[in-house]
Structures are given as structure tokens and as C-alpha cells.
Amino acid sequence: MKGVLLFLAVAAATTLGVAIGWQRWLVSRAGTDESTWRHWVGFASLLGCSAQILAFLLFEVVIVADDRMRYYSFLGRIEFCLFVVVLISAVVGKGRTRWPAVVSAAGTIGFWILLGMSM
């Protein structure tokens, strides 16, 4: 029961984090002509979060049972690199999208850790 609750909490944090981040970024861009590089770095952090989620879904949906361990280590490395990129861009970036990006990236890494413990 605790494992299911942990999984649901991580899923909610990841999904809500990236959804709130995209919503905040779109709203912040609608009313301004601001085009600073730090704002675009914040956008890159949201792209990194989205790429992390897509890589996780690719692993869960597409990869067959025979090759799971080989692809787990390969996609796990990609996930970790994306996590580092998201953290750096969230620290350097500007705007209200930084914390949702960090929460979403950390949640996706949490998925990989839970998945690795179950293999």
C-alpha cells in the first residue's frame, strides 16, 4: 500500500509540475515583449522536463520485456543527463517556471529509481 501511495505522489508531482510550468510560461509570454536569454533558458528547462517524461513513457510503452534491462540503463543515463540540464537551466533561468521544472524533473528521476528497485 505504501508503494502505491508513493508512486501516486510521484506521478502527481511530475505531471502537475510540468503542466503548471508550461501554463506559467505561456501566460508570462503572452503579455510581454521580453526576450531575455534567461527567460529562454527557463523554456529550455521545461523542454528538458517534457523530454524526460517522453523518455520514460517510451521505456514503459515501447520496450519489450526481453530488452528491458539494457534499455533501462541506456535511457536511465539519458534521464540523468536531462535532469542535470533541467537543474542547471532552472538555476540560471528566469521566471515562475523554475520550481515546477525542478519538481517535475525530480519526480521523473524518482520514477526511474522506483522502476529500478522493482526490476
Domain range for 60: 2-118
Q: Are 17 and 103 in contact (CB under 8 A)?
A: yes
Bigger pLDDT: 90 or 6?
A: 90
Q: How many domains does the chain have?
A: 1
pLDDT score of 84 = 92
pLDDT of res. 32: 58
pTM of the predicted structure, to 2 decimals: 0.77
